[in-house]
Amino acid sequence: MLKNIVLMGPPGAGKGTLATRLREELKLTHISTGDMFREAIKNETPLGKEAKAYLDSGNLVPDELTIALVKERLSRSDCENGFLLDGFPRTLVQAEALDKLAKEINRPIETVINLDCDQNELIRRISGRRVCKNCGAPYHVDTMKPKVEGVCDVCGGPLYQRADDNEEALKVRLQHYVNSTKPLLDYYRDKGLLKNFDSLVGIARIFDEVINFLSSK
Ligand code: AP5
């Protein structure tokens, strides 16, 4: 079973949704840099104050801040049995830093799962997404409704729409994806780590396909 996993894909491809299910099923530690930044913003920490303008506008938080955050998180003992990196790395500098860090802590990346999705579907997903304020679990107003409207199935927290889930910020996020993050697919393909999945097949099927792939190794 592969256990040290990077999840990649454009905004709205389903990284967070897949990670939420995989962490339950496989007991892996889920590390979402987006969730960590949003938590810091909510708690008004120095990191949160610095990151807020970047997130709200859809821009990337500077590499040095993001790398320091992941370095500290990955070195904790709950990552010893495997981790899911969701939203990191997003730039070549971050990918190279992750290689170095993984070597230092002796937890090498074992696979990179990429979720493919076309742009119209990304816009549909992002515009209808609602997220739990407490645990970050994602929902959709049409295709992934909670059992009780406005309430998280997982923890009972309130659901809200993210500040960057609007047309303007989404355009910026997609542009950063194309310019800075998509090129990392070649980086990981060259290392023999990349595995592509079509995220248009629906949440349940993609989950089964990924679980089958991870357990076949
Ligand atoms: P982050 O939180 O990572 O956002 P993102 O990459 O834009 O990804 P999303 O969370 O929008 O989408 P997702 O792929 O997780 O989709 P989801 O599962 O929710 O980052 C936010 C910001 O933080 C960045 O813009 C940046 O400012 C900063 N940041 C974070 N990491 C950084 C880094 N490394 N460097 C610099 N800055 C960083 O699904 C979306 C919707 O679709 C949901 O409603 C869901 O129900 C639905 N859905 C999901 N899968 C399916 C499916 N298979 N079929 C049908 N519907 C589906």
pLDDT per position as a tens digit, 20-77: 999 999 999 999 999 999 999 999 999 999 999 999 999 999 999 999 999 999 999 9
Please tell me the residue having the least CA distance from ligand 1 atom 7: 11
Ligand 1: which of 52, 65, 121, 129 to mutate, most ligand atoms within 8 Å of CB? 129
Q: How far apart are CA 48 and CA 43, in angstroms?
A: 7
Mean pLDDT of the chain: 95
58 class by beta-carbon count within 10 Å (0-12 exposed, 13-18 middle, 19+ buried): buried
pTM (2 decimals)? 0.94
Residue 38 Cα to ligand 1 middle (Å): 12
Looking at residue 2, what is its pLDDT? 86
Beta bridge mates, 111: 5
